[in-house]
Amino acid sequence: MSGTGKVRQRKSSRPSSTFTMLDYAYRSTLVVIPAYNAARTLGRVLEQVTEASPHLTTLVIDDGSTDKTAAVAEIGKAHVIRHEHNKGKGEALRTGYVEFLNRDFKAVITLDADGQHSPLEIPNLIEAWLNKRADIVIGTRKRQIGNMPLLRILTNTVSSWLVSLSAGQYIPDSQSGYRLIARSVIDNVETESHGYGAESEILIKAAIAGYSIEAAPISTLYGDETSYIRPFKQPFLFLGLIFKSLFWRWERIGKDRT
């Protein structure tokens, strides 16, 4: 892992009297943005993170981009860690998680660099985290024709159903990469998947371990961005997760007995 910048947490670890608890929550949250050839859209995403709260710290994982993604991130005053080669979203997230654990943040928010997630809705996730005391908060989209492509509605519905079945609890939008995850989850739940499956894997393993998962409403945004998800392939990959989840559950039972 190579980095062009390290995340530096602000010196104060306690909220001062001039800041509210909500301000402190923002200061305690690291925003991680996996990015691959996202120079065209990343700048606006970073601007909106700052608009959501000036107290947020942002880390961009440039996953081997061949464009100016890293330069745009630095111009946007984000910290940057760059993979020399493209490793996939799962590896990009794990790089962000490692850096997160090396710092004194309490939660991490992940969102995409292509503009599908509005950073202006970060408060929705923060408030759900504080009010519901959730370990994971998933930004949940409405599946409506006109707002989301029909093919995406179908694959999202099937995939979320399969992940919910594996997790043992209902997760309405398991494919949303817009989520807040508390430090205890990152510290105790390991993932192995290299691609988009890592986002489902952490939900399933966290649910099996007893962590609470809540939903927060977010907008459904689709433009002309390039998607790296293969909609016909994804449901079959999630079927594999179901079988793996049986092993993860058995493994968890063994840990609880020791």
Q: Buried (b) or exposed (e) across 25-45, using 16+ Cβ within 10 A?
A: bbbbbbbbbbbbbbbbbbeeb
Interval 15-24 mean pLDDT:
69
Instruction: Provide φ and ψ at 180, rounded to 5°.
Output: -110, 135
Residue 222 CA: distances (Å) to CA of 27, 75, 92, 103, 225 = 30, 25, 23, 34, 7
For 24-75, write each residue's pLDDT tens digit: 999 999 999 999 999 999 999 999 999 999 999 999 999 999 999 999 999 9
Round the average pLDDT of the chain to a whole number and report it.
85
150 or 236, which is more confident:
150
For 154-213, write each residue's pLDDT tens digit: 877 888 888 898 899 999 899 899 999 999 999 999 888 877 788 889 999 999 999 999
Angle at 164 between CA 159 and CA 169, to 5 degrees: 165
Instruction: Provide φ and ψ at 38, rounded to 5°.
Output: -115, 25
Whether 11 has a pLDDT exceeding 50, the answer reads no
Closest C-alpha to 96, from 71, 137, 61: 61
Q: What would the DSSP string read from start to end of 2-67?
A: EES------S--S--TTS-HHHHHHHTEEEEEEESS-HHHHHHHHHHHHHH-TT-EEEEEEES-SS
Q: How far apart are CA 148 and CA 249, in angstroms?
A: 33
Measured in whole angstroms, how far is the alpha carbon of residue 157 from the centre of its chain? 19
Residue 109 CA: distances (Å) to CA of 67, 168, 206, 209 = 25, 24, 16, 20
| Helices 197-208, 234-257: crossing angle, 10 deg rounding | 30
Residues 6+ apart with CB under 8 A from 199: 89, 90, 93, 174, 175, 177, 179
Angle at 215 between CA 185 and CA 45, to 5 degrees: 85
> What three-state secondary structure class fits 143?
coil
Angle at 17 between CA 11 and CA 19, to 5 degrees: 70
Q: How far apart are CA 198 and CA 196, in angstroms?
A: 5
Instruction: Provide φ and ψ at 14, rounded to 5°.
Output: -125, 145
List of domains in the chain: 15-257 (3.90.550.10)
Band of the pLDDT at 257, cuts 50, 70, 90?
low
Residues 6+ apart with CB under 8 A from 239: 162
* The one-letter amino acid at 84: E
